[in-house]
């Protein structure tokens, strides 16, 4: 019997069900958005809000993400949030995969602006909408 097959060895990694992934997304205020820009990977740290199962971000009209979503452009993206507990050698990570576009419903955008404060200062009135198509997550360690 190998060490991996020991009867009292706990599994240290497990999947997180999608409904719990939604709860974790709502429990944190920032994460990392990854996309491809001109053939190169691009990642930015953003704070977010969860509304109706989707994610929303607030940015500047002259930001790169604003340029990439100009007009009716839609970007495939992955947004990742996580938390780690180094002393316990444990943590979790959730990824939301979907499409990013500009918010086109101004009444909804105004409501979101009142709830979402960008950590970076300056005029950040453009709301971007990540329509979530897939949620996945996993935990590691003895939580």
Q: For residue 109, count other CB atoms closer than 10 A to its CB.
A: 19
Query: Which pTM was predicted?
Result: 0.86
Q: Could you tell me if residue 30 is inside a domain? A: yes
Q: What share of the chain has pLDDT > 90, as a percent?
A: 69
| CATH code assigned at 30 | 2.30.110.10
Q: Could you tell me if residue 6 is inside a domain? A: no
**Residue 4: pLDDT above 70?**
no
Q: What is the pLDDT of residue 11?
A: 66
Q: Could you tell me if residue 1 is inside a domain? A: no
Q: Which domain holds residue 76?
A: 11-140
Lowest mean pLDDT among 4-13, 15-24, 66-75: 4-13
How many domains does the structure of the chain reveal?
Answer: 1
């Amino acid at each position: 019997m190998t060490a991996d097959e020991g009867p009292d060895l706990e599994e240290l990694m497990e999947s997180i069900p999608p409904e719990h992934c939604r709860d974790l997304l709502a429990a944190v205020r920032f994460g990392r958005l990854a996309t491809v820009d001109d053939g190169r990977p691009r990642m930015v740290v953003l704070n977010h809000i969860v509304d109706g199962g989707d994610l929303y971000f607030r940015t500047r009209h002259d930001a790169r993400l604003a340029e990439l979503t100009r007009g009716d452009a839609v970007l495939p993206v992955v947004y990742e949030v996580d938390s780690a507990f180094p002393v316990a050698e444990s943590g979790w990570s959730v990824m939301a995969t979907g499409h990013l576009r500009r918010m086109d419903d101004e009444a909804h955008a105004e409501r979101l602006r009142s709830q979402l404060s960008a950590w970076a200062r300056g005029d950040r009135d453009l709301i971007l909408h990540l329509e979530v198509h897939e949620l996945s997550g996993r935990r590691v360690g003895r939580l």
